């Protein structure tokens, strides 16, 4: 996990950590890096969304430029490959660390430019969103379809919507911003995923929280299993989730804890992905959306999470 200062704060009252951005490289054991390498980048300084489980939520100091987004990729690539050429079969860029990407048009520019620098045939991208409802996001999502078709055809684009609960009031509680309804997500996802052209199914992601309902039958009424798949992930042990007393309904140390939910979705005809990553990611705070600055400032960190006291700040990563 890396932290970079992209810009220098100006003025006496400027917060010293205002322009720090986090990005992560990851592998998927036992697959070696030469076969699959995942780079998770930020699109904002913090995030204006205030999702209850995300440490980046609520601390927002602006949007990254396309150059600043691509600098994160370039820095990680050059650390492993000094010539700047990512010699891997599958390079996956995830726009999922800090920030809501659909509110930053520079993400579209970065996606368009990525194939110029890296092997386009082995390049995959993934974008995770809470589907905010705004004119800016609407324009973003319309342009996203064209970019996917032009640069990431043949199943090389993974679009993910963060859902978390099927209860409308609960969803508003966990993601307290104006956002698309299930009907709107389903309509867009149906347009986005052209299965006949080899597009991937759109992912509906749940980080199940105790006390927040998940009803597979409700999802089936809105989302076609031929177009959408279900992804289940344990709730990350963040400072915010601890402060909000949110408890994961999936125990990452006991995969059997998800059996009932997995079977409920399969019964409705869904492909289900149970995504329990390396538990080391919790310890070092490298999961999607996490925010090291908040953890370092917190009086108490969640158990088995953020076990770090120092990190390297790369000035103006390029």
* 225, part of any domain: no
Kind plus residue range of the DSSP H or E element containing 143: helix 135-151
228-232 vs 90-95, strand pairing mode: unpaired
Residue 22 sits in a domain of what CATH number?
3.20.20.70
* 248, part of any domain: no
**pLDDT grade for 116, boundaries at 50, 70 and 90:** very high
Residue 179 phi, psi dihedral angles, 5° rounding: -150, 165
User: Apex CA 249: angle with CA 245 and CA 254, to 5°?
Assistant: 120
**DSSP 3-state percent helix, strand, coil across the chain (nearest 5):** 35, 20, 45
Whether 308 has a pLDDT exceeding 80, the answer reads no
- Residue 9 CA to residue 229 CA, distance in Å, equals 43
Number of compact structural domains in the chain: 1
What is the tens place of the pLDDT at every residue in 149-199? 999 999 999 999 999 999 999 999 999 999 999 999 999 999 999 988 899
pLDDT value at position 156? 96
* 238, part of any domain: no
* 235, part of any domain: no
Q: Among residues 66, 96, 7, 95, which one has the least CA distance to residue 313?
A: 7
* 229, part of any domain: no
30: left (phi over 0), alpha (psi -120 to 50) or beta: alpha
Q: How many residues does the chain have?
A: 318
What pTM, to 2 d.p., does this model score?
0.87
Segments forming the whole domain that contains residue 135:
2-199+285-315
* 70, part of any domain: yes
* 263, part of any domain: no
* 112, part of any domain: yes
What is the tens place of the pLDDT at every residue in 192-250? 999 888 999 999 999 999 999 999 999 999 999 999 999 999 988 788 888 889 999 99
């Amino acid at each position: 996990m890396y932290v970079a200062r992209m810009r220098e704060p100006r003025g006496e009252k400027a917060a010293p950590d205002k322009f720090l951005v986090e990005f992560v490289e990851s592998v998927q054991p036992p697959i070696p890096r030469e076969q699959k390498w995942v780079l998770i980048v930020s699109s904002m300084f913090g995030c204006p969304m205030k999702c209850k489980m995300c440490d980046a939520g609520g601390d927002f100091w602006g949007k990254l430029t396309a150059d600043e987004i691509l600098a994160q990729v370039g820095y990680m690539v050059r650390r492993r490959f000094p010539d700047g050429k990512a010699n891997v079969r599958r390079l996956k860029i995830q726009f999922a660390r800090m920030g809501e990407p659909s509110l930053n048009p520079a993400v579209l520019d970065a996606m368009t430019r990525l194939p110029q620098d890296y092997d386009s045939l082995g390049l995959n991208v993934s974008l995770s969103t809470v589907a905010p409802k705004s004119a800016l996001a609407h324009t973003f999502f319309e342009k996203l379809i064209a970019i996917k078709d032009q640069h990431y055809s043949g199943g090389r684009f993974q679009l993910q919507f963060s859902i978390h609960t099927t209860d409308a009031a609960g969803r508003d509680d966990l993601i307290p911003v104006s956002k698309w309804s299930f009907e709107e997500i389903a309509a867009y996802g149906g347009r986005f995923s052209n299965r006949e052209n080899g597009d991937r199914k759109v992912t509906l992601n749940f980080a199940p929280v105790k006390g927040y309902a998940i009803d597979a039958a409700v999802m089936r009424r809105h989302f076609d299993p031929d177009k959408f798949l279900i992804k289940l992930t344990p709730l990350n042990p963040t400072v915010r989730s601890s402060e909000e007393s949110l408890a994961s309904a999936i125990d990452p140390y006991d995969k059997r804890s998800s059996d009932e939910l997995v079977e409920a979705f399969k019964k409705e005809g869904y492909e289900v992905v149970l995504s329990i990553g390396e538990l080391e990611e919790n310890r070092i705070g490298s999961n999607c959306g996490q925010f090291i600055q908040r953890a370092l400032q917190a009086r108490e960190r969640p158990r088995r999470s953020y076990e770090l006291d120092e990190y390297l700040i790369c000035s103006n990563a390029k």
